[in-house]
């Protein structure tokens, strides 16, 4: 039961992660270093971006809780 739930949560987590918009310059910026990685930039997410981001956060927490629960059981 928990294993099936873990598979569903992990698939949803992957899909939501892929749906999120990129916040950097892309792959060229990663190799050249232009623009830098500003992980703590003060950017506001609005609308569907914020909803997807919040759901991804919740699913990540649920994922780790399920992994710990499966390990303990």
State the Rg of the chain over Cα: 16
d(CA 73, CA 67): 10
Domain borders along the chain are 1-17+47-73
For residue range 45-56, list pLDDT tens digits in order: 788 889 999 999
pLDDT at 18 > cutoff 90: yes
pTM over 0.85: no
């Amino acid at each position: 039961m928990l294993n099936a739930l873990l598979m569903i949560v992990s698939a949803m987590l992957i899909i939501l992660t892929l749906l999120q918009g990129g916040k950097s310059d892309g792959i060229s910026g990663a190799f050249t270093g232009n623009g830098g990685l500003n992980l703590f930039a003060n950017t506001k997410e609005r609308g569907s971006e914020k909803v997807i981001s919040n759901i991804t956060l919740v699913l990540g927490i649920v994922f780790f809780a399920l992994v710990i629960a499966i390990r303990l059981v």
